[in-house]
A and B are shown apart, each in its own frame.
Chain A
Amino acid sequence: AQTVTQSQPEMSVQEAETVTLSCTYDTSESDYYLFWYKQPPSRQMILVIRQEAYKQQNATENRFSVNFQKAAKSFSLKISDSQLGDAAMYFCAYRNLPGAGSYQLTFGKGTKLSVIP
């Protein structure tokens, strides 16, 4: 079974600064999807960014980018120019490709990000 580990229960960043959230995962598959979800205090679940493991290029979405290290099974999220609205729980998640066993999202325990004005 796949596992996702987020080793930082809480992080804080100064407004306008950059912060990196860590995520590692364990899988025997060679291809898969990885995601970062944001959960603000409203407790919605919002997709921030996703990465296909077969793609070498790291995904970026505006101020959000990932550092995907396949060999190390690491998938960190970098938030640049942090804004007050970025304060939330961030969840890293893993998903198999179709036909490769279970296809549900497996989530880490989350990192609570605080943004200091």
Chain B
Amino acid sequence: GAGVSQSPRYKVTKRGQDVALRCDPISGHVSLYWYRQALGQGPEFLTYFNYEAQQDKSGLPNDRFSAERPEGSISTLTIQRTEQRDSAMYRCASSLEGASSYNSPLHFGNGTRLTVT
């Protein structure tokens, strides 16, 4: 498809389990962002990649959260030892240009809804 694709769409996991969320950006898009959105709130920045380089991970809440984009395309957000407070919608976005010169908007995926029981 032409848009940002995220999988799975829904994920229910038990507390303490690890989860991996996948993002497939629009082909050719340089920048990739991960956001987390709690119900009734705006998206909150987690981390950003320019090609395969993780340029900013200041939004990751703690060291249980990590992300990678090894070949500059697909990205995986991993949450280890999940806790109930991790339950949220996790969104990926991509844009054509890198942060050094951007005028193109972010294109968001439909998100992965994570529920930790």
Which residues of A does B touch, CB under 8 Å? Answer: 4, 35, 42-45, 47, 50, 91, 93, 98-99, 102-110
Which residue from chain A places its CB closest to the CB of B33 in the assembled complex? A104
A contact patch SS: loop
Q: Which residues of A contact B48 (CB under 8 A)?
A: 103-104
Q: Is B22 positioned at the interface, with any CB of A under 8 Å from its CB?
A: no
B56 contact from A44, A104, A110, Cβ within 8 A: A104
How many residues of chain B are within 8 Å of chain A by beta carbon?
24
Cβ of B26 < 8 Å from any Cβ of A? no
Q: List 18 A-B contacts (CB under 8 A).
A: A43-B89, A43-B110, A45-B91, A45-B93, A50-B105, A91-B42, A91-B43, A98-B99, A98-B101, A98-B102, A105-B33, A105-B45, A105-B93, A107-B43, A107-B44, A108-B42, A109-B42, A110-B40
